[in-house]
């Protein structure tokens, strides 16, 4: 057994290598927390808010990673479907938990359709799923704007005039979600030592975790992992590769939609044309901060990621202000870190993949060099 012979230092080195990003974030947070001057109570409260707000969205990313399709930048599609659902329930005036459920029901067929489309396009672009899903997000954003900004109120009737722009059609830039605001978070209230814990939301998130764990063991889940390992081998063993990939994207899109509804009920207002644009980036960055890679992610990564990433997010403006006297700097810093983390993770993934792929090629090249 080779493993037993590794010294402690060696093991530590390997641990650091495998967890570079989370460790870096622990360090950033450790430096930033005293600088920001926030109380521990406030920070823990913030973490619970962020956890309940974002965890569902981030969990939706796990399934496509399992199927080997990388980070699903197309999760914004689900977010847009959810927003359409929310606009409709606001129009109908359905409030509370029934409103959220109705919004989820409305968003589901839209998510399924968009996910099906996205999955088909990604099957046409194997090997560059991520950049393609990223552009699909932009493309569908255009279609979404066409529908919401021009068709709603003119072709699609909107009765609630508070939703419509003063020109007579198109939805306003911000939609007030007072009807469902904090409805789920406040369903089972719990307050321990001044910290609000949104039990109901956390239960829903736990439910999705259990579902994902169960799903991995089903036939379909196993198929997805097989496809993720090697498409050709999976095909040879009789798995319908394309179909499996499409299903994984559809599931991700639908869950992203539900996640978006939870996210927006916590925030309480819908920025009709902006809410979804950043959601994909922040979810992906958080997942990667939790130690996930493009090819491997689990539930632990999700929760670690939310805590570390959002801790950084909360403290950096104040830390920037106290350090240099400029809160703006901290804000730019956190944007930079978000993008930087994604960049570094993508690079590491590609480098590792290339190393594996080119191993044989390098051997061949070395042989040829020796021949010279």
Partner 1 sequence: MMNKIIDFVHKAGLPRIIIGLFLFALFVIAPFVGVKLDISLTNVMNRFGMNCVMVLAMVPMIHSGCGLNFGLPLGIISGLLGATLSIEMGFSGMVSFLMAIVFSTPFALLAGYGYGKLLNKVKGGEMMIATYVGFSSVAFMCMMWLLLPYRNPTMVWGYAGRGLRTTISTEGYYLHVLNDLLSLKFGGIVIPTGMFLFFALLAFLMWAFLHTKTGTAMTAVGSNPIFAKASGINVDAIRTLSVIMSTWLGAVGILVYEQSFGFIQLYMGPFYMALPAVSAILIGGASVNKASITNVIVGTFLFQGILTMTPSVMNSVVHTDISEVVRIIVSNGMILYALTRKSEVAR
- Chain residues that interact with partner 1, rule: CB under 8 A: 121, 124-128, 130-132, 134-136, 138-139, 141-143, 145-146, 149-150, 324, 326, 328-329, 332-333, 335-336, 338-340, 342-343, 346-347, 349-351, 353-354
- To partner 1, the closest distance from the beta carbon of 123 in angstroms equals 9
Which among 261, 274, 275 is positioned nearest to 90, based on CA atoms?
261
305 within 8 A of 58, measured Cβ to Cβ: yes
Write down the least CB distance from residue 139 to partner 1, Å: 4
- Cα dihedral 254, 256, 261, 264, rounded to 10, equals -160
Query: Which is nearest to 268 in space by CA: 86, 105, 110, 111?
Result: 86
The closest alpha carbon to 144, from 282, 251, 267, 275, belongs to: 275
Nearer to partner 1, 108 or 253 (CB): 253
CA separation for the pair 372, 370 (Å, rounded): 5
| Least gap, CB of 126 to partner 1 (angstroms) | 6
Residue 372 beta carbon to partner 1: minimum distance, rounded to whole angstroms = 12
The CA distance from 317 to 310, in Å, is 12
Kindly give the residue spans of alpha helices, DSSP state H, lying in 146-240. 199-217, 219-229, 231-236
Q: Kindly tell me which of 126 and 243 has the beta carbon lying closer to partner 1.
A: 126
**Residue 345 CB, nearest distance to partner 1 (Å)?**
9
CA atoms in the 13 A half-sphere facing the CB of 20: 6
Is the Cβ of residue 78 or residue 99 nearer to partner 1 in the bound state? 78
The tokens of 255 are what? 């869950």
Dihedral angle sign, alpha carbons of residues 244, 64, 274, 52: positive
Q: What's the closest the beta carbon of residue 177 comes to partner 1, in angstroms?
A: 24
Query: With contact defined as beta carbons under 8 Å apart, do 57 and 263 qualify?
Result: yes
Instruction: Dump the DSSP string for 26-43.
Output: HHHHHHHHHHHT--HHHH
Please, what is the minimum distance in Å from the beta carbon of residue 132 to partner 1?
5
Residue 182 vs 235, nearer CB to partner 1:
235
Q: Residue 15 or 138: which CB sits closer to partner 1? A: 138
Closer residue to partner 1, CB minimum distance, 269 or 328: 328
Structure tokens at 187: 């369903």
Backbone angles phi, psi at 149, to 5 degrees: -85, -25
Helix (H, G, I), strand (E, B) or coil at 132: helix
Toward partner 1, which CB reaches closer, 137 or 291? 137
CB closer to partner 1 out of 187 and 329: 329
> DSSP per residue over 153-169, as a string?
TTTB----TTTB-TTSS
Please report how close the Cβ of residue 343 comes to partner 1 at its closest, in angstroms: 4
Nearer to partner 1, 112 or 121 (CB): 121
Output the smallest distance, CB 114 to partner 1, in A: 14
Query: Kindly report the CA angle at 287 between 232 and 120, in degrees rounded to 5?
Result: 40
| Cβ atoms 268, 177 nearer than 8 A | yes
């Amino acid at each position: 057994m080779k493993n037993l012979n590794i010294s402690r230092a060696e093991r530590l080195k390997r641990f650091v290598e495998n967890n570079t990003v989370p460790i870096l974030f622990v360090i950033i947070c450790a430096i930033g927390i005293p600088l920001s001057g926030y109380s521990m109570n406030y920070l823990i409260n913030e973490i619970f808010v962020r956890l309940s707000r974002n965890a569902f969205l981030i969990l939706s990313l796990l399934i496509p990673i399992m199927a080997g399709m990388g980070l699903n930048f197309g999760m914004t599609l689900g977010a847009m479907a959810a927003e359409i659902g929310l606009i409709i329930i606001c129009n109908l005036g359905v409030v509370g938990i029934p409103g959220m459920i109705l919004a989820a029901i409305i968003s589901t067929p839209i998510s399924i359709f968009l996910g099906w489309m996205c999955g088909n396009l990604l099957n046409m672009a194997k090997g560059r799923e991520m950049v393609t899903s990223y552009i699909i997000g932009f493309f569908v954003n255009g279609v979404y704007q066409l529908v919401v900004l021009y068709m709603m109120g003119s072709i699609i009737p909107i009765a609630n005039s508070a939703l419509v722009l003063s020109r007579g059609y198109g939805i306003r830039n911000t939609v007030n979600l007072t009807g469902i605001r904090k409805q789920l978070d406040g369903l089972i209230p719990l307050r321990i030592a001044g910290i609000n814990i949104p039990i109901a939301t956390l239960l829903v998130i736990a439910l999705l975790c259990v579902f994902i764990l169960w799903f991995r063991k089903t036939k379909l889940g196993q198929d997805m992992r097989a496809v993720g390992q090697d498409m050709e081998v999976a095909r040879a063993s009789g798995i319908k590769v394309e179909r499996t990939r499409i299903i994984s994207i559809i599931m991700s899109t639908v869950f992203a939609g539900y996640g978006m509804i939870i996210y927006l009920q916590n925030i309480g207002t819908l920025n009709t044309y902006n809410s979804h644009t950043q959601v994909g980036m922040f979810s992906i960055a958080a997942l990667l901060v939790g130690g996930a890679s493009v090819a491997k992610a689990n539930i632990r990564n999700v929760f670690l990621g939310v805590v570390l990433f959002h801790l950084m997010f909360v403290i950096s403006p104040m830390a920037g202000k106290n350090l240099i006297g400029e809160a703006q700097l901290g804000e730019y810093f956190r944007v930079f870190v978000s993008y930087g983390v994604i960049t570094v993770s993508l690079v590491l993934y590609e480098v590792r993949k290339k190393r594996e792929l080119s191993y044989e090629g390098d051997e061949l090249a070395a042989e040829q060099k020796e021949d010279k």
